[in-house]
Chain A
């Protein structure tokens, strides 16, 4: 019996020991490491305060836990019937009850004070030096730089990990599922305010090392901010279940020096100017097909299949839409099909891309319609519906 109880005691202590190991290992880990066991203080002041708060409460819990479990296991060991003890009969004590109501209450106040001050800091949105609008889509992020200099900088940021890695056909890369085609770029030591919203369902923009998590809610704009003190690449993910590919819409934030940021901004603006020139051009079928394939692979493939065979979405190959009225086809591309997974892509891809992808769908996968859509047609279609 003695042996048995000993074993019980040891095994039941295991979680406490695991908790302690968490504490000691936690100090060593930082920055999304392999087998990281604790929160990271990250690269911001707020992140550090949250981390300190987390560790404070953690240690308070460990101490209370050690006391409670200590008393309990002492009792389990010494107050066993097999040791021939006779049970006491005491069963109440108002004084003790009051004590263990009041003392925890005081401890809670001790936790509430630093928690309140950190919360107030987080809620201080004033004096932001720049604003970025973050919009969640199924299943990618759109970043829009709202400052005057950044007027024309708008882009989508989507998962870059290829399906072949996800389907285990190829070895997985170092940043498997945490890599995007185009990261958000922000300057170091700058208070950046994020205006967070969504286009379809609720998403949540979470970058652990920036200590930012804010729900992106369709129809509402939430505020949050960060000021990153160390240059580097920070990775996060959507944190709110948003449908099929919730696990596949990562966030990458590239924090660079202020000079590099200015340079990047210039480059993006030049690109934007180029795109607006393209809008006025007329393309040949081959040009549109070439562009369309890229657009298709990025936007349509996940649901409609690599060969237009369908999947979550309807098939494109031989479909009545892609081989039917061209305006109706364009309408679906721009405004989607409400109530289904087919989104309104009109606001997600530009007119050149829209023209290219509609043309591509009508002429690829054996559809061979031979007709095409020009950027100007997309523009006119959008105008015709009064730019909703």
Chain B
């Protein structure tokens, strides 16, 4: 001790008390993977029940608990923390900072997460069961008609929100204050840019979510009537507030994924990112538009026609900056010299499937057509194309891309590619047929369905099982790499990779950039 260049502490206290961005990043990533497995097992129960018409495995009430917890755990437990973990690991290394700006808060924002999810998961064992009102928890199903466990759910959401807000403040403070000399805003890697914008979105909308659940709490326990028409309130108000949070939330999930893909595609195309400036502006435009489109989730609540038109036009506009991003990625690949290692495969998988999800998103933006799509399996297919093939694929790409830098060992390329192909095929078998049943009239969130939907549902379940199983291969590959992967000390794992993170030693030392690098 007393030595300035000390390494990590030993034992459990290293992880409990750490203020090191890499340790905290690692904990975030493992935690989010654990939640991914938990949320995934809920999905497996859902798909097993939907394998055939009729109720076989669970009862309808438990089925609703599964869909609710699957959504909540995946959104708040798996995807969001995974990108925060990635931000913790990579942002300081990408901007030449020694650590995050607020390291103690960093520790705190991670360590309140596991108790929050413990509380949420414990609702499964409470009397009346876990929340069963969908991850969108529309009132009054989530207030007057909710099981008693809803109070624990509200507390859990508050804590998650707190964690997200603290994490975002930290990222904003780090990016704005700790960039290496010469690292101007317009020289920052795209991943840093997309996270900076995401962090602003989070700070703006998480308090709105906190407001929504607080109003629920008041309605349930303190006799207010925010969302009860009988007391002069308005159930539709809940939806407006929820989606004012909820729509920016989907960009909170996807923007960091855009950032990851914008790092990986240039690296494996051996060519700089095409249209860097326009990528930055497009990201900012998407973030701005995300605040004025929320009611496209509510076309059927009976809005006046002027409202419908405004939200339809605003939503359609999002296709423009999103299109710019896709075109730029494709132009980056154009006349490059590509190789197809696992991270690149996942990035291309992202590009193809996210674009399909974007197309269905455009279809959903058309209000009259949405009267048919709304709350059908078409919507389920759409958001899994953007959430799973968008966020989760890009997260897989990121892990394979940076894992050698993190642990100084190379993963097994064949196993990585196998993981990609099984995921890609399983994913499409699971979710493509859901477009069909949705268009044919199958509503979402039902535990049992009419006979004409049987074949596609069985196919969908088979695909989901394949996709689920492929994640075990992922886990195995990552653990095998950390324990016994081929050691590598090359600073640049990938010959086409650019950025400060590839200038430090491999594996990345506990402390990096104690003296800031000069960026030209």
Which residue of A11, A65, A87, A90 contacts B421 across the interface (Cβ within 8 Å)?
A11
* Given A202-B235, A213-B372: A172 and B53 interface contact (C-beta under 8 Å): yes
Give Cα A81 to B363, complex, Å.
Answer: 37
Contact B340 A8 (CB under 8 A): yes
B317 on the A face (CB < 8 A): yes
Give Cα A87 to B60, complex, Å.
Answer: 57
Task: Kindly count the residue-residue contacts between A and B in the assembled complex, taking CB atoms under 8 Å apart.
Answer: 315
Contact B439 A39 (CB under 8 A): yes
Contact A69 B352 (CB under 8 A): yes
A287 on the B face (CB < 8 A): no
* Given A50-B371, A72-B330, A213-B300: A87 and B132 interface contact (C-beta under 8 Å): no
Which residue of B140, B300, B349, B355 contacts A204 across the interface (Cβ within 8 Å)?
B300
14 A-B residue pairs with Cβ-Cβ distance under 8 Å, sorted by A, are: A22-B436, A54-B366, A80-B338, A92-B274, A165-B54, A175-B450, A201-B140, A204-B374, A218-B230, A219-B229, A219-B235, A239-B374, A243-B133, A341-B145
A2 on the B face (CB < 8 A): no
Contact A11 B441 (CB under 8 A): no
B428 on the A face (CB < 8 A): yes
Contact A68 B326 (CB under 8 A): yes
Give Cα A54 to B376, complex, Å.
Answer: 15
Contact A247 B271 (CB under 8 A): no
Chain A residue nearest in CB terms to B136: A241
1/0 per residue B189-200: CB within 8 Å of A?
Answer: 000000000000
Closest beta carbon of chain B to A270's beta carbon, Å: 34
User: B277, B355, B368, B428: which has the most chain A beta carbons within 10 Å?
Assistant: B368
Chain B: interface residue total (CB-CB under 8 A) = 100
A341 contacts across to B, CB distance below 8 A: 145
B380 on the A face (CB < 8 A): no
B359 on the A face (CB < 8 A): yes
1/0 per residue A363-382: CB within 8 Å of B?
Answer: 00000000000000000000
B376 contacts across to A, CB distance below 8 A: 239
B443 on the A face (CB < 8 A): yes
Chain A residue nearest in CB terms to B446: A247
Question: Which parts of A308-364 form the interface with B (CB within 8 Å)?
Answer: 312, 338-339, 341
Contact B140 A218 (CB under 8 A): yes
B367 contacts across to A, CB distance below 8 A: 115, 119
B391 on the A face (CB < 8 A): no
1/0 per residue A66-102: CB within 8 Å of B?
Answer: 0011011001100111100111111111001100110
Closest 5 CB pairs of A and B: A219-B229, A247-B446, A222-B302, A36-B440, A61-B359
A264 on the B face (CB < 8 A): no
Which residue of A22, A69, A177, A202 contacts B141 across the interface (Cβ within 8 Å)?
A202
Give Cα A248 to B445, complex, Å.
Answer: 11
Closest beta carbon of chain B to A98's beta carbon, Å: 9
Give Cα A97 to B138, complex, Å.
Answer: 41
B122 contacts across to A, CB distance below 8 A: none
B305 on the A face (CB < 8 A): yes
Which of A104-112, A126-134, A150-158 is the contact stretch?
A: A104-112
A92 contacts across to B, CB distance below 8 A: 274-278
Give Cα A175 to B273, complex, Å.
Answer: 55
Contact A91 B272 (CB under 8 A): yes
B177 on the A face (CB < 8 A): no
Question: Which parts of B305-341 form the interface with A (CB within 8 Å)?
Answer: 305, 308-309, 312-313, 316-317, 319-320, 323-324, 326-327, 330-340
Which of A27-35, A181-189, A291-299 is the contact stretch?
A: A27-35
A160 on the B face (CB < 8 A): no
1/0 per residue A159-177: CB within 8 Å of B?
Answer: 0000001111000101111
* Given A202-B140, A213-B372, A218-B229: A38 and B335 interface contact (C-beta under 8 Å): no
Closest beta carbon of chain A to B55's beta carbon, Å: 6
Contact B140 A200 (CB under 8 A): yes
Which residue of A32, A57, A93 contacts B363 across the interface (Cβ within 8 Å)?
A57
1/0 per residue A245-270: CB within 8 Å of B?
Answer: 11110000000000000000000000
Give Cα A248 to B449, complex, Å.
Answer: 9
Closest beta carbon of chain B to A300's beta carbon, Å: 17
Which residue of A65, A88, A201 contacts B271 across the interface (Cβ within 8 Å)?
A88
Contact B372 A211 (CB under 8 A): yes
1/0 per residue A50-70: CB within 8 Å of B?
Answer: 100110011001001100110
B269 contacts across to A, CB distance below 8 A: 79, 87
Question: Which parts of A202-223 form the interface with B (CB within 8 Å)?
Answer: 202, 204, 206, 208, 211-215, 217-220, 222-223
A residues apposed to B, CB below 8 Å: 4-5, 8, 11-12, 14-15, 18-19, 22, 26, 29, 32-40, 49-50, 53-54, 57-58, 61, 64-65, 68-69, 71-72, 75-76, 79-82, 85-93, 96-97, 100-101, 104-105, 108, 111-112, 115-116, 118-120, 122-123, 138, 165-168, 172, 174-178, 196, 200-202, 204, 206, 208, 211-215, 217-220, 222-223, 235-248, 312, 338-339, 341
Contact A75 B333 (CB under 8 A): yes
Chain A residue nearest in CB terms to B439: A39
Which residue of B138, B348, B449, B455 contacts A247 across the interface (Cβ within 8 Å)?
B449
Give Cα A320 to B363, complex, Å.
Answer: 56
Give Cα A36 to B366, complex, Å.
Answer: 22
* Given A8-B340, A111-B366: A34 and B451 interface contact (C-beta under 8 Å): yes
Give Cα A127 to B229, complex, Å.
Answer: 29
Give Cα A217 to B236, complex, Å.
Answer: 8
Contact A38 B436 (CB under 8 A): yes
Chain B residue nearest in CB terms to A62: B359
Contact A243 B339 (CB under 8 A): no
Contact A172 B54 (CB under 8 A): yes
Interface contacts beyond A79-B336, A88-B335, A206-B441: sample of 16 additional A-B pairs, CB < 8 Å, sorted by A: A34-B451, A39-B439, A49-B368, A64-B359, A79-B269, A80-B338, A87-B271, A108-B319, A111-B316, A116-B309, A123-B305, A175-B450, A204-B375, A218-B230, A243-B132, A338-B144
Contact A33 B452 (CB under 8 A): yes
Chain A residue nearest in CB terms to B370: A213
Contact A122 B368 (CB under 8 A): yes
B319 contacts across to A, CB distance below 8 A: 104, 108
Contact A91 B275 (CB under 8 A): yes
Chain A residue nearest in CB terms to B443: A239
Give Cα A223 to B5, complex, Å.
Answer: 70
Contact B368 A119 (CB under 8 A): yes
Contact B449 A177 (CB under 8 A): yes
B421 contacts across to A, CB distance below 8 A: 11
B9 on the A face (CB < 8 A): no
Give Cα A201 to B452, complex, Å.
Answer: 28
Closest beta carbon of chain A to B23's beta carbon, Å: 36
Closest beta carbon of chain B to A55's beta carbon, Å: 10
Closest beta carbon of chain A to B442's beta carbon, Å: 8
1/0 per residue B444-459: CB within 8 Å of A?
Answer: 1111111110011000
B291 on the A face (CB < 8 A): no
Closest beta carbon of chain B to A279's beta carbon, Å: 28
Closest beta carbon of chain A to B212's beta carbon, Å: 15
B435 on the A face (CB < 8 A): yes
Contact B138 A241 (CB under 8 A): yes
B356 on the A face (CB < 8 A): yes
Contact A35 B456 (CB under 8 A): yes
Chain A residue nearest in CB terms to B448: A247
Contact A208 B335 (CB under 8 A): no
B334 contacts across to A, CB distance below 8 A: 71, 75, 79, 88
Chain A residue nearest in CB terms to B456: A35
Chain B residue nearest in CB terms to A83: B337
Contact B375 A240 (CB under 8 A): yes
A72 contacts across to B, CB distance below 8 A: 330, 333, 348, 351-352
B353 on the A face (CB < 8 A): yes
A115 contacts across to B, CB distance below 8 A: 312, 366-369
Chain B residue nearest in CB terms to A13: B352
